[in-house]
């Protein structure tokens, strides 16, 4: 079995419901969720004039390859209503593959590890919650160290909500 780390994000519509729907679809179509972080609220990164995001990281056990996981994730995004209009823009749901086993993949369609992990606290904070000692296969640093060294100044806070 393979282990894929997946980042979920949403900031329009009902982000709580969309994250829940994405988790269900991932369990049904990609594999078993072995670990899941708390849900975090963060300011938008990249394009900042948009609503705050809710983010969560999952560790999923899957029989699929990284490329197959990417294709399924894109199908799930589409099925949940994602329309790609603007890079880093508002979205109903975003599903990013962060890590896949200890593999390094660098193709036009897929880059593993995700190229922005070390620059985004909204990714690092939930990653550190569920897998602080995981070693980034390119940077050769554990997630906890990447967070400590991050230059991202955007606020990321654990979110408590009645839906959970």
Q: How far apart are CA 94 and CA 83, in angstroms?
A: 10
List all residues 6 or more positions away from 37 whose beta carbon is below 8 Å from its beta carbon. Answer: 56, 57, 58, 126, 127, 129, 130
Q: Catalytic residue among 3, 84, 96, 109, which? A: 96
Q: Catalytic residue among 29, 79, 91, 152, which? A: 91
**Residue 4's beta-bridge partner residues?**
60, 100
Q: Catalytic residue among 3, 75, 84, 94, which? A: 94
Q: Catalytic residue among 3, 82, 109, 120, which? A: 82
Query: Is 96 among the residues known to form the active site?
Result: yes
Hey, what are 118's tokens?
């070390």
Q: How far apart are CA 67 and CA 123, in angstroms?
A: 21
CA 82, 86, 87, 90 torsion-angle sign: negative
Query: Is 71 among the residues known to form the active site?
Result: no
Nearest to 151 by CA among 119, 125, 104, 106: 119
Active site residues: 82, 91, 94, 96
């Amino acid at each position: 079995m393979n282990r894929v780390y997946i980042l979920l994000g949403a900031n329009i519509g009902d982000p709580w419901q969309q994250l829940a729907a994405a988790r269900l679809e991932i369990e049904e179509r990609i594999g078993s969720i072995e670990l899941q972080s708390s849900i975090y609220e963060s300011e938008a990164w990249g394009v900042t004039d948009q609503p705050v995001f809710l983010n969560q990281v999952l560790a999923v056990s899957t029989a699929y390859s990284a490329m197959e996981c990417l294709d399924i994730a894109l199908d799930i995004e589409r099925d949940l209503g994602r329309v790609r209009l603007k890079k880093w823009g508002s979205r109903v749901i975003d599903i990013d593959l962060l890590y896949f086993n200890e593999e390094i993949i660098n193709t036009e369609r897929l880059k593993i590890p995700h190229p922005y992990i070390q620059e985004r606290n909204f990714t690092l904070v939930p990653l550190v919650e569920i897998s602080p000692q995981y070693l980034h296969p390119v940077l050769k640093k554990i997630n906890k160290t990447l967070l400590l060294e991050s230059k991202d100044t955007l606020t990321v806070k654990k979110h408590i909500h009645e839906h959970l």
